[in-house]
């Protein structure tokens, strides 16, 4: 359909790939919906925020969530839509150089798969439709994030804005309780175990550090 290359025009237009280490984004392969992926990156840009990304339509649909996802269903987190990112952005961890769009350090804070749970009158709703309608329910299967969440658009147009909210899900709720959000400086990459500061300092970086470390970790845990 050529859909995904069109979807990435905005992403590519904002970046100079001779200067930023971010992926320029090949064509994304459509994967089956049962194993769609998500990533949450912590991005120490002009304003520190989390980037929440869900695989859909061959790209990563993206929202900037200043305070990050909450495990507390009563916390509504503002999620501002940003441009679609290429699928291989999922593993991007590093430093976007000064002067470049989104300059600052990025770590992969969480990663995993999600299950679309969107429905309307008891009928399942495909992801594309759910996003177009402005309400999507899904279950995250990450290393840090688990359980049901919902994204709901509450404002359209140029100021389009969404809310990311944990949905009450009895088991998790009672077992884990809700801890306050830890300081971002203490958060670590789920791929390499590094903090923002360590990534900024280039510690533990190799040729393709995130991918290798990520594979090793997954292999060891599953």
Query: In the complex, what is the shortest distance from the CB of residue 11 to Mn ion, in angstroms, rounded to a whole number?
Result: 12
**Nearer to Mn ion by C-beta: 51 or 91?**
51
- What long-range pairs does 64-67 form, CB within 8 A, spacing at least 24? 65/164, 67/181
Distance of alpha carbon 194 from alpha carbon 172, whole angstroms: 27
| Smallest distance, Mn ion to C-beta of residue 43, A | 4
Cα distance between residue 166 and residue 51, in whole Å: 16
Taking the C-alpha atoms of residue 101 and residue 22, their distance in angstroms, rounded to an integer, is 11
> Nearest residue by C-beta to Mn ion?
43
- Judged by CB under 5 A, does residue 51 bind Mn ion? yes
Dihedral sign, Cα of residue 55, residue 57, residue 63, residue 69 = negative
Which phi-psi region, left, alpha or beta, contains residue 164 (left: φ > 0; alpha: ψ -120 to 50)? Answer: beta
- Look at residue 16 and give its three-state secondary structure: coil
Tell me, by CB under 5 A, how many residues bind Mn ion. Answer: 2
Quick one: which segment of 5-13, 46-54, 90-98, 206-214 binds Mn ion (CB under 5 A)?
46-54
The least distance separating Mn ion from the CB of residue 92, rounded to whole angstroms, comes to 11
Nearest residue (CB) to Mn ion, 81 versus 148: 81
Q: Which of 15, 28, 39, 43 binds Mn ion (CB under 5 A)?
A: 43
Q: For Mn ion, which is the closer residue by CB, 43 or 61?
A: 43
Query: Which residues form the interface with Mn ion (CB under 5 A)?
Result: 43, 51
């Amino acid at each position: 359909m050529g859909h995904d290359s069109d979807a990435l025009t905005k992403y590519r237009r904002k970046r100079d790939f001779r200067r930023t280490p971010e992926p320029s984004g090949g064509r994304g392969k459509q994967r089956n919906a049962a194993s769609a992926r998500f990533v949450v990156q912590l991005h120490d840009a002009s304003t520190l925020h989390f980037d929440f990304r869900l695989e859909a339509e061959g790209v990563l649909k993206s929202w900037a969530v200043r305070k990050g996802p909450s495990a507390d269903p009563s916390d509504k987190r503002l999620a501002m839509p940003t441009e679609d990112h290429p699928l291989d952005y999922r593993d991007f961890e590093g430093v976007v150089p000064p002067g470049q769009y989104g300059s600052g350090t990025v770590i992969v804070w969480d990663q995993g798969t999600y299950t679309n749970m969107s429905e309307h009158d008891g009928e399942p709703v495909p992801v594309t439709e759910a996003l177009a309608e402005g309400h999507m329910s899904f279950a995250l299967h990450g290393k840090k994030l688990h359980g049901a969440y919902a994204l709901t658009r509450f404002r359209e147009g140029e100021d389009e804005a969404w809310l990311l909210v944990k949905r009450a899900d009895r088991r998790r709720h009672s077992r884990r309780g809700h801890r306050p959000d830890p300081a971002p400086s203490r958060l670590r990459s789920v791929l390499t175990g590094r903090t923002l500061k360590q990534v900024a300092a280039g510690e533990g970086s190799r040729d393709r550090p995130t991918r290798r470390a990520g594979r090793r970790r997954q292999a060891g845990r599953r």
